[in-house]
Amino acid sequence: MIWFKRLSIGIIAALAIALSSCQVLLVKTEAAQGSQLVADVLSDPKTFNYALNSQRPNIFSLTFAGLTSVNGLTAEIEPELAESWEMSADRLHFVFTLRDNLKWSDGEPLTADDVVFTYEQIVFNPEIPSGVSDMLKIGQSGQFPQIKKLSDRQVEFTLPEPFAPFLFATAGPSDGVAIMPKHALAATIEAKGADGNPIFLSTWGTNTPPEQIVGNGPYRLSRYRPSERVVFERNPYYWRQDTDGNPQPYIDRYIWEVVESTTASLIQFRSGGTDAIGVAANEFALLKREEERGSFKIYNGGPAFGTTFISFNLNQGSRNGKPLVDPIKSGWFTQVEFRQAIAYALDRQTMLNNLFQGLGQLQHSPIDIQSPFYLSPEQGLKVYDYNPDKARELLQSSGFQYNAAGQLLDAAGNRVRFTLMTNAGNKLREGMGAQVKQDLSQIGIQVDFQPIDFSTLVEKLSVSLDWDCYLLGFTGGIEPNEGANVWLPEGNLHSFNQSAQAGQDALEGRTVYDWERQIGDLYIQAAQTYDLAQRQELYDEAQRLTQEYLPCIYLINPLSLAAVRNSVEDVQFSALKGIFWNIYEVRMSENS
C-alpha cells in the first residue's frame, strides 16, 4: 500500500536547487566507485522486516524475491527463486523446484528449509501480523496450505481446496510472499520479549545496521541515513545472469534520496539530482516542455494501478473502555445514506480537470480497470455523479437538518464536523483533500483537513485506530485476491473497520456489518473457483456492494506516467510494476 506557505516560490526553489546541488556532489563522489542510479522517495522506510511491512516506499522489491514473480509487461507468473513448478490434476498439490546453488546476500545457501520456514513460521504464524498471510487463507475456515520439504531443492504445497490465486500469492515481494532467511531469523521467532510476543516483531527495524539485513534480491542494503538517503549495492550472490553469462544486475548502486515533498522531488529531477521520477498529472505539462532539453523521456503506461479514496472510520468498538470513535460522529459515519451523500457531494470531474489536468478518469471500483474482473459503469456498476442537491436530500431524509446559517446538524442538533487526514508532502493528495473540504462545505459540513506525517497517519490507521476520515490509496494489481487483506473483515488492511492485530490490545464491541461480511465471503468464494465466468460474477457482486455501502469513496484513476533520463537504458516501464521492475536488466550508458 502507498499512502501522502507559500513564501516566495522563487526563493524556495533557489534554496532547494542549491541543496539538491550539494546532494548531487555527494552522490557523484560515490559514483566514482562504479555505476549508479538515483531516484527519490517521499518518506523514509518504516521497517527493514519484509513480513511486517504494509506500505510504500519499502526496500523489499530490491532486496527480496519469492518463488515466482509477475512480469511487468505481460502480467504472467514467471519463475524466480523456483526454476519450475508442477500442479496436480486436482489443483491441490504444487511442487516447486528451486534453482541450483541459490545463496543469500551473506553467502549462505538458500534451500527448501528457508521456504518452509518462511511459510510455516512467519506467514502462517498467528503471532505475526503479516499482511501477506490474508492472501493465503483458503475457504471459509481460513485454512493455510500445508508445506513439506521434499529435498533441499523441492517443496510441496498441499491446499485444502482449489485456490485460483495460489501462484500469485507466491510472487513476492510486491504481489505475494518473499522468502526469508531461516539462519538469520529462526531464533527471533522462538524467543519471546517481555510482552510475550516473538522478538521477531522488533527485529530488523530501521535502526538495524544494514550489513545485518540478509536478503535474496538483486540488491542488498548498504547504507541508510534517516531523512537523507538509502543506498543499495549489487547483491553479488543474486542468481540472475544474462545470456552471455554476465551477472546481473548491471548497475552497482541504487540510491534513494529522501525528499520532504513532491515539489522537492520535482526540483531534484529538474536540477539533475535524480535519474527518474514518477510524474504527477499536475507536473506533466511542465516536464513535457523540458523533455528534449532535459535529455529524458516521459513514459505513459496507461491507467495507473491502485486506488485513491476517502474512507470513514466505521469501527464501533472500544479499547480499554474508551470508544475508538466519538459516538456522535460514529452515528453519522455508520449511516450508509450519510456516506452516499458525501459521494454525491464530491465534484470529482472538477478534481480530475483541475488537479489532474484531465490525465485520468473517474474511479468507481476497488478492482483496477486493467483487471479482467473489473466491472464498469456501462456494465451496471453504481456511480455517484456530482449532485449536491441529491446529497442534501439524502441527509435530510436521514434526520439531518440545516440551521439558518446553512450548517448541517444531526437530529440532536450537533454540528456535523470531522477531521480528514492525508500524508503531508504529497501535494496532489493535499490538493484533493482541500477540494473535498471545499465541496463538503457546500452541503453544510465542516471538514478539518490535516495533512500529517506519514508514520503518524499509519499508526492511527493500524494501531491506535483513532481517526475520523482519511484520504489515501492502495496499490492494485491484476488479481483481485491481492486485496484480500483489505476486504476480509479480519484482514490487516481492513482499515475502515480494523480488528485488533497480533500483539495489540483487544477491542470490545467491534461489529462486523452484514454487507461487510458478504464482501469478504465473495472474495473467499471467488478464490475457490478456477472458472473465469464464475469468478467474474462473484467479483461483480463484490464491486456492487462496495459501491452501494461505500466503505471507500473512490476518487480519481490517473494515468501512470514517469520521466527517466536518457542515460538509463533498457527501461521497460510498466503501470503494473513501476519504472524499474526489471532493475536487473537496466543499464547506465557509458557516458552517463
Name residue, grid cell 464491486: 543
SS3 state at 227: coil
With a CB cutoff of 8 Å and minimum separation 6, the contacts of 95 are: 85, 86, 150, 154, 155, 156, 157
Opening angle at CA 259, ends 307 and 577, nearest 5: 40
Q: Please state the domain extents for the chain.
A: 9-57+197-303+559-588, 63-186, 307-558
Q: From 2.30.38.10, 3.30.830.10, 3.90.1280.10, 3.40.190.10, which CATH number describes the 9-57+197-303+559-588 domain? A: 3.40.190.10
Architecture of the domain spanning 307-558: Roll (3.10)
Name the H helices within 274-424.
281-290, 327-333, 336-345, 348-355, 388-397
Residue 297 CA, chain-centre distance (Å), reads 26
Q: Can you tell me the distance from the alpha carbon of 329 to that of 313, in angstroms, rounded to the nearest whole number? A: 9
Question: Do 100 and 106 form a contact (C-beta atoms < 8 A)?
Answer: no
Give DSSP secondary structure letters for 128-187: S--GGGGGG-BTTTTBPPEEEEEETTEEEEE-SS--TTHHHHTSTTTTSPPP--HHHHHH
Q: Can you tell me the distance from the alpha carbon of 63 to that of 105, in angstroms, rounded to the nearest whole number? A: 9
SS3 state at 369: coil
Architecture of the domain spanning 63-186: Alpha-Beta Complex (3.90)
Q: Give the HSE-up count for residue 501: Cα atoms under 13 Å, Cβ half-sphere.
A: 24
Q: Can you tell me the distance from the alpha carbon of 259 to that of 427, in angstroms, rounded to the nearest whole number? A: 13
Question: Do 118 and 180 form a contact (C-beta atoms < 8 A)?
Answer: yes
CA distances from 227 to 245, 318, 450, 457, 537 (A): 38, 36, 22, 17, 47
What type of residue is 179? I
Helix, strand, coil percentages (3-state) for the chain, rounded to 5, are: 35, 20, 45
What type of residue is 116? V
Per-residue pLDDT of the chain (592 residues; tens, 9 = 90+): 333 222 232 322 332 333 333 444 444 444 446 899 999 998 899 999 999 987 778 999 999 999 999 999 999 999 999 999 999 999 999 999 999 999 999 999 999 999 999 999 999 999 998 878 988 999 888 999 999 999 999 999 999 999 999 999 999 898 899 999 999 999 999 999 998 999 999 999 999 999 999 999 999 999 999 999 999 999 999 999 999 999 999 999 999 999 988 899 999 999 999 999 999 988 999 999 999 999 999 999 999 999 999 999 999 999 999 999 999 999 999 999 999 999 999 999 999 999 999 999 999 999 999 999 999 999 999 999 999 999 999 999 999 999 999 999 999 999 999 999 999 988 899 999 999 999 999 999 999 999 999 889 989 999 999 999 999 999 888 999 989 989 999 988 999 999 988 778 889 999 999 999 999 999 999 999 999 999 999 999 999 999 999 999 999 999 999 999 999 999 999 999 999 999 999 999 976 5
Which uninterrupted H or E stretch holds 344? helix 336-345
